[in-house]
A = this chain, B = another copy of it.
Amino acid sequence: MALNLIGVGFCDEKDITVKGLELVRKCEKIYLEDYTSLLQCSVTELETFYGKPIILADREMSEQGAEKLVEEAKTTDVAFLVVGDPLAATTHISLLNLAREKNVPVQVIHNASILTAVGEVGLELYKYGKTTSIPFDNPNLQTPQKVIIDNQSLGLHTLCLLDLKPKEGRFMTIKEALDILKLHQKVIGCARLGCENSMIKYGLSGELKDFDFGKPPFCLIVPGKLHFVEEESLSLY
């Protein structure tokens, strides 16, 4: 009996690893955390491919329900599926800690994350600084802007994750984020990174605001100091 934290990647049902899939098929209870990100396929497609019913776990369940989940994993093989990598968010680190404290065996199956998928843009992953989020509500503007300035002071790139509320069908667009940030430099707008139909555009804030990026999720990258290979990559967009 164990708690299995399994990353499912971020496009469709086939982005899970072979190891992750075998584990899901062995588990009796399968939860999918459905608030922090967005897949390009439906839950039904996941269920069909896994051959297992899925219980959607909303924010309340994965945060306040952690105790219950860990308790359940004492007597049942539980899979907790997370879009992207299972440990990219603090909530899931807390879940991991709780399971360890309660001596419940826990296994983590890693997967791609937006933090590695940004590699497609062609900026070196090692040269990203702190990641920042741009929230819809009560935007404490100073925070993302300070992160960008701090990172740039060290020549580092900044990944800005744009807020999303999948249940309400709300996804912050590149334009909305640029309106909030008021940047006066070239930036990189991305949609559906890591998926076959991903879209990447490099240009001045004003240029990107008018561009139609299509379906979510979106993110924005503010480059720091560019190496010539990085310049070459960006010249392709």
Q: Which A residues form the contact surface with B (CB < 8 A)?
A: 7, 9, 11-19, 21-22, 85-88, 90, 93-94, 96-97, 100-101, 107-108, 110-113, 115-117, 119-120, 122, 124-133, 150-151, 154, 156, 194, 196, 227, 229, 232-233, 236
Q: How far is the CA of A120 from the CA of B227 in the complex (A)?
A: 31
For A117, the chain B residues whose CB sits under 8 A away are: 110
Q: B85, B111, B113, B125: which contacts A87 (Cβ < 8 A)?
A: B125
Q: Is the CB of B115 within 8 A of A112?
A: no
A-B contact pairs, 18 of them (CB 8 A): A7-B112, A12-B19, A13-B18, A18-B21, A85-B116, A87-B116, A87-B125, A88-B116, A90-B124, A90-B227, A94-B232, A97-B122, A112-B112, A112-B113, A113-B125, A126-B133, A127-B130, A130-B156
Q: How far is the CB of A82 from chain B (nearest CB, A)?
A: 11
For A229, the chain B residues whose CB sits under 8 A away are: 90, 93-94, 97
> With contacts A85-B119, A151-B154 known, what are 14 further pairs, Cβ within 8 A?
A14-B22, A15-B18, A16-B18, A17-B17, A93-B119, A93-B122, A94-B229, A97-B232, A100-B236, A111-B111, A112-B113, A113-B125, A127-B130, A130-B154
Of chain B, the residue at the smallest CB distance from A146 is B154
Q: How far is the CB of A147 from chain B (nearest CB, A)?
A: 9
Q: Is the CB of B17 within 8 A of A124?
A: no
Q: B94, B100, B116, B129: which contacts A115 (Cβ < 8 A)?
A: B116
For A108, the chain B residues whose CB sits under 8 A away are: 119-120, 194
Q: Is the CB of A14 within 8 A of B14?
A: no
Q: How far is the CA of A113 from the CA of B85 in the complex (A)?
A: 10
Q: Is the CB of A124 within 8 A of B21?
A: no
Contact A125 B116, CB 8 Å, known A154-B150, A196-B107: no
Of chain B, the residue at the smallest CB distance from A237 is B100
For A110, the chain B residues whose CB sits under 8 A away are: 9, 112, 116-117, 119, 194
Q: Which 10 A-B pairs have the closest CB atoms?
A: A87-B119, A110-B112, A126-B131, A14-B19, A85-B116, A14-B18, A113-B116, A150-B154, A110-B194, A88-B125
